[in-house]
Amino acid sequence: MLKLVVVVKFKEGIDDPEGKSITHSLNLLGFENVKRVNVAKQYEIFVDADISKGREIGEKIVKKLLVNPVIHDYELRVEEI
Amino acid sequence: MKVAILQMEGTNCEEESYIAFKESGFEPEYLHINLLKKGMLENYDMIFVPGGFSSGDYVRAGAIFAARLKAKVWKDLKRFVEEGKPVMGVCNGFQVLIELGLLPGTDGISEEPEAALATNESNRFECRWVYLKKFSDTIFSKHVGDKITLPVAHAEGRFLADKKTIEKIEEQNQVVFRYIAPDGSRPDYPWNPNGSVNDIAALVNSYGNVFGIMPHPERAFFWYQHPDWNRVKRERGDGWQIFNSLFREIIEAKNR
């Protein structure tokens, strides 16, 4: 069994309104030195496949659904479990 | 003229849309994605993607609807667009058309998204009436007044694309409606409800047959749906003008 970990985050320069809201909230909670928060989405995808195919499957899943290349970057890790 | 109103788990504006098309002289039909098969779209003259929360807006608004359509009927959809038949998406439907790569469609059809409708700048769901100004005459807008009001209801409507794409959209006059302030000037929040680049509210592709709009014309179809209904006299809702434009440019033009 494989575990594909995909982290989808905003590209540098793309506004992250959720991150901004959280930054503001943390400042209000007394963390005045918090300057920026980036929010990312993590998917853990469990796939019944050989480790040699893991990356290829992950890339396809990312391209077909998880990422809009205009606004997102992603990281993909493949683990055998 | 048969209009396929696509449905999926979570679409929720199909009834208003059905009524709007019916009242405007079209023959609308619901078509659920689970019943959609290759070759079926040929039976229709227009495709409409309604608003709502398809697949609960999971992953990104419109992403799952688009991926399922792509997996099932991408070739058919491309042919439909290339034949010049009209395709229209409202709100979540606009998000679907962007995710499909049918909009902005600066060079026709793109295999990958060329733009995004990202989370509103306010990081909130924005639900209110907005003012729109027409910037381009298309089959969807030719008989629409210069300024109209329609309701928005979305959390992901901030139109984004890279600089080159935006420039091309502007050059090719693909912006159909922009948000404006009540006095007609460039809007700040809340009149631009989502922070869209260049105040873009609605776009048409470079062919002129695929149209996406964030505000809901089908929710302002009748005069009594406007919040100022008892102060401003209207024969019809402002949203009706878009459906009427389609009727006049397509059905009436055929019979002329």
Split at pLDDT 50, 70, 90, the class of B245 is very high
What pLDDT does residue B178 have?
Answer: 98
User: Which of B59, B123, B160 lies nearest to residue A70, judging by beta carbons?
Assistant: B160
Q: Which residue is closest to B101 within chain A, CA to CA? A: A68
What pLDDT does residue B255 have?
Answer: 81
Split at pLDDT 50, 70, 90, the class of B218 is very high
Q: Could you state, in order of their start, the residue ranges of all structural domains in chain A?
A: 2-80
A15 touches chain B (CB under 8 A): yes
Q: How far apart are CA B228 and CA B124, in angstroms?
A: 25
Domain count, chain B: 1
What pLDDT does residue B252 have?
Answer: 86
Split at pLDDT 50, 70, 90, the class of A10 is very high
Mutate to test the interface with B, among A16, A18, A22, A71 (most CBs of B within 10 A): A71
Report which residue type is found at B153: A
**CB environment A46-61: b (16+ within 10 A), e (fewer):** eeeeeeeebeebbeeb
B215: pLDDT strictly greater than 80 = yes
DSSP chain B: -EEEEEE-TTB--HHHHHHHHHHTT-EEEEEETTT--TT-GGG-SEEEE--B-GGGG-SSTTHHHHHHHHHHHHHHHHHHHHTT--EEEETHHHHHHHHHT-SS-TTS--SS-S-EEEEPTTSS-EEEEEEEEE----TTTTTS-SEEEEEEEESEEEEE--HHHHHHHHHTT-EEEEEE-TTSS---TTTSSS--GGGEEEEE-TTS-EEEESS-GGGG-SGGGSTTTTTS--SS-TTHHHHHHHIIIIIIHHH-
Domain with residues A2-80, CATH architecture: 2-Layer Sandwich (3.30)
Split at pLDDT 50, 70, 90, the class of B12 is very high
The whole domain housing B29 covers 2-255
pLDDT averaged over chain B? 97
Q: Which range is least confidently modeled, B6-15, B17-26, B225-234, B245-254?
A: B245-254
Q: How far apart are CA B147 and CA B57, in angstroms?
A: 31
Q: How far apart are CA B127 and CA B194, in angstroms?
A: 10
Q: What is the pTM of this model?
A: 0.95
Q: How far apart are CA B176 and CA B199, in angstroms?
A: 11
Contact between A68 and B119 using a beta-carbon 8 Å cutoff:
no
Split at pLDDT 50, 70, 90, the class of B76 is very high
Identify the CATH number of the domain in which residue B46 sits.
3.40.50.880
Q: How far apart are CA B229 and CA B223, in angstroms?
A: 6
The stretch B53-66 carries a mean pLDDT of 95
The stretch B137-162 carries a mean pLDDT of 97
Is B216 among the catalytic positions? yes
B120: pLDDT strictly greater than 90 = yes
Q: Using a CB-CB distance cutoff of 8 angstroms, which residues of chain B are in contact with residue A22?
A: none
What pLDDT does residue B37 have?
Answer: 97
